[in-house]
A and B are shown apart, each in its own frame.
Chain A
Amino acid sequence: MSLSETYRETLILRLVEGMTGPEIAARTGMTHGSVRVNLHRGMEQLRAKLNAGPSRVRPEQEKS
């Protein structure tokens, strides 16, 4: 269970390192548009994979 490298790197910078999209673009040299697309598509993939697995991380699910 893994994300494609393109999305994984962008999401790590956003969710782990706490950088914003503009900061990621400045660091990686990608355009703002590319960073934004990678963030959203990577997030969709991550949600799909998390929902498909046995452990769910969605807060509302944990609460329920």
Chain B
Amino acid sequence: MDTGDNRTENRPPIESNDYLWDRSGEPDPEIQHLEALLERFRHDSPTPAFPEIVPERQWAFFPWRRRLFPALATAAVGIAAIVAVTLLVYRTKPTPSTLAGWNVSGVRGTLRIGQKTIGGKEGTSRLVIGQMLETDSQSRASLQADDTGKIEVDPGTRLRLLSMGSGLKRIALDRGTIHTYIWAPPGQFVVDTPSAVTVDLGCAYTLQVDDSGAGMVRTSLGWVGFKLNGHESFIPAGAACATRPKVGPGTPYFEDASAEFRSALARFDFEDTASRQRARDVVIVLSETRKRDALTLWHLLTRVDDQQRVLVYDRLSQLVPPPAAATKEEILRLDQPMLDLWWNELGFDDISVWRHWERSWAGTATPVREK
């Protein structure tokens, strides 16, 4: 039933001298007349025993409920606000698919990304900054980033994604083998290994790191910079370069060089031999050198002592004459601009690419090892 106007809820208690209300007070003749006229229509059978009807507004009898409702309403609004904010935060929170990183696909076998195990049936996954990817002895995967390149990961490899900024994409290869095909601008893709840092200079290369931290890079396209604490090597396509913990990059060489050449070079680079043995190894290298091994001799210029440097200069001059602008004296005192000019005569890429990267990131090059 419509209850009519309820705005009287807050009115004072009903007065008792209201005849219309409860027949109290002075009788109203008009109402008495109507009562008399209508009385004959009164229902004369007993009133059915209806159950008591609960009053429509119980707050009047339970004042605490009047206070409870606003509290409940406030709590409900608060909870709704918290839920809305939570949903908003959740929906705007970066998910792995939106964070900078590499897409992981072509999974064969089972590998781990962070704490998650990934199988080949799971489609494309994501390696994001701070995560580690690890393949077991049977598994492999392919990483791809549209603005950087592609990395094939061999079995037994563990790598970590360190950064994925617009100017520097960096991963760490703790162990295993990766094959990289990089189309990012030269100098932007860097791989840390336990014994050196490889810097892509527009190339494709394979990088291996064994359990001791020793590494090997083999370039198949373009060239790679290999660097640690001022020791640097440039590895053009077809060449390779080893690296060792606490020593850094060795001298790059072409792998089709003679066995004597490669053995002597490995002793020179990484074995702590007496100076007499080192001199003998240099002689062996010089005697086994072909024209394309000018690559190795150019690097040796900065790695031998003064007496041997004259021998290396003479042999390199026979293979590739020094630039007209460079004197022998300038070369023998390791004048870097003159050395760079001679590098450009060797027929590999222009060294200014590397120097530009070095100036903007790692400072000037320094002459390498002195044993």
A residues at B contact (CB < 8 Å): 5-7, 9-10, 14-18, 20-22, 26-34, 36-41, 43, 46-47, 57-60
Residues in B whose Cβ lies below 8 Å from that of A14: 20
Task: Select the stretch in B47-55, B153-161, B250-258 that faces chain A.
Answer: B47-55
Q: Are B31 and A41 in contact (CB under 8 A)?
A: no
Q: Which of A15, A20, A21, A60 contacts B38 (CB 8 A)?
A: A15
Residues in B whose Cβ lies below 8 Å from that of A18: 35, 39, 42
Q: Which of B3, B22, B31 contacts A34 (CB 8 A)?
A: B3
Q: Which of A15, A36, A58 contacts B8 (CB 8 A)?
A: A36
Residues in B whose Cβ lies below 8 Å from that of A7: 4
Q: Are B9 and A15 in contact (CB under 8 A)?
A: no
Residues in B whose Cβ lies below 8 Å from that of A40: 20
Q: Does chain A have a CB within 8 A of B122?
A: no
Central interface residue in A15, A37, A38, by most chain B CB within 10 Å:
A15
Q: Are B11 and A31 in contact (CB under 8 A)?
A: no
State in angstroms the CA–CA spacing of A7 and B20 once bound together.
Answer: 13
State in angstroms the CA–CA spacing of A60 and B28 once bound together.
Answer: 12
B 258-301 contacts with A by CB, 8 A: none
Q: In the complex, how many residue pairs between chain A and chain B have their CB atoms under 8 Å apart?
A: 94
Grouping DSSP codes into helix (H, G, I), strand (E, B) and loop, the A interface class, with mixed when no group exceeds half, is: helix
B 34-67 contacts with A by CB, 8 A: 34-35, 37-39, 41-43, 50, 52-57, 60
Nearest residue (CB) in A for B21 is A21
- Shortest CB-to-CB span from A29 to chain B, Å, is 4
Q: Are B60 and A20 in contact (CB under 8 A)?
A: no
Q: Are B37 and A57 in contact (CB under 8 A)?
A: yes
Nearest residue (CB) in A for B13 is A32
- Shortest CB-to-CB span from A2 to chain B, Å, is 15
13 residue pairs bridging A and B, Cβ less than 8 Å apart: A6-B2, A7-B4, A21-B14, A26-B53, A28-B1, A28-B53, A29-B54, A30-B4, A31-B6, A37-B6, A38-B5, A39-B21, A57-B33
Q: Does chain A have a CB within 8 A of B30?
A: yes
Given contacts A27-B50, A33-B14, contact A20 B4 (CB under 8 A): no
Q: Are B21 and A29 in contact (CB under 8 A)?
A: no
Nearest residue (CB) in A for B37 is A57
Given contacts A18-B35, A27-B53, contact A39 B20 (CB under 8 A): yes
